[in-house]
Amino acid sequence: MVHADFQPITKFIVAAMLMLCCLPAFSNPVQDHGRLQVKGNQIVGKHGGPVSLAGMSLFWSQWMPQFYNRDTVAWLKKDWQITVVRAAVAVEPDGYLKNPEVEFEKACQVVDAAVAEGLYVIVDWHDHKAEEHTAQSVEFFDRLSKKYANVDNIIYEIYNEPLKVSWAEVIKPYSIKVINAIRKNDPDNLIVAGTPTWSQDVDVAAADPIEDINLAYTLHFYAGTHKADLRAKAQKALNAGIALFVTEWGTVEASGDGAVDRESVAEWVQFMQKNNLSHCNWSIADKVEGAAVLKPGASPKGGWADKDLTESGMFVRELIRSWGRRE
């Protein structure tokens, strides 16, 4: 029996414990993990252990600019329990090449929102022909890394999805130039390098890696199209000793459309969990396509109810929330 004088205190303690149990696993992932570092084939935190982030990618910045704001990022943290968000800074058409200041500011809005929320943030050079825009990419990342060099949150993704071009002759030389521009200003933060064939040939990059103190490589998949063969490539790359980051993946076909392939997603989730891979789902958009998580007309400031979410949106939201509880 509890003495009457202690009953209010006991009730307060019990209530506080219940509240803590209901909180997301990481209320401030950057505070918990610090600056991310590559150690062998793993991305680790300040504690030295592997970090597996789960989050969302925004859509092409020139086509869905309404979601590049603090409210969207805050809602994704609060309701979806994301630990990372990705800004897909469009290069062309009508992107950075045409409107550099506009697109740079969109990136900064997302970074600033992520910093305020204690989230990791990927700034992605969303290009399929970045080697043709090397000067602009160097300019962009030089400016970005000067601005955010002392911010643990930021991750630089220097090439979204190269096409079927040579790693050794095209992608690697481009990457080295951009990495050097970043490292002049920011010697420590994580950089993610794109790989050939829409960031799928990670085994090719693993056979000829770039020398850098903190570099991972991009792996992209769409569950409706990419299956065991791509996972075998990814495992080969991991076995060769490079770290991978799934900066973009979809529940549907590589076209961005189709139904959610739940069986394939489950296989990919098992693979990512086994290898402690971080990932961002594509995408925060209200476009009429299978990969979009929002229905047309959804609020640009978050606050989405179930009725605002697509099949993929409902599915991915629960996946990310469970990922946080897993951590």
Q: Are 291 and 282 in contact (CB under 8 A)?
A: yes
* CA separation for the pair 43, 46 (Å, rounded): 10
267 is catalytic: no
From 101, 161, 267, 318, active-site residue: 161
Q: Which residues pair with 39 in a beta bridge?
A: 42
- Read off the tokens for 128: 């399929």
- Read off the tokens for 213: 């103190």
Nearest C-alpha neighbor of 280 from the set 216, 221, 204, 205? 221
Cα–Cα distance list, 307 to 113, 195, 295, 310 (Å): 26, 37, 8, 8
CA angle 249, 164, 219 (to 5 degrees): 25
Q: Are 201 and 242 in contact (CB under 8 A)?
A: no
131 is catalytic: no
Ramachandran region of residue 232, left (φ > 0), alpha (ψ -120 to 50) or beta?
A: alpha
From 103, 117, 157, 248, active-site residue: 248
- Other beta carbons less than 10 A from residue 125's beta carbon: 25
- Read off the tokens for 183: 């490292």
Q: Which are the catalytic amino acids?
A: 161, 248
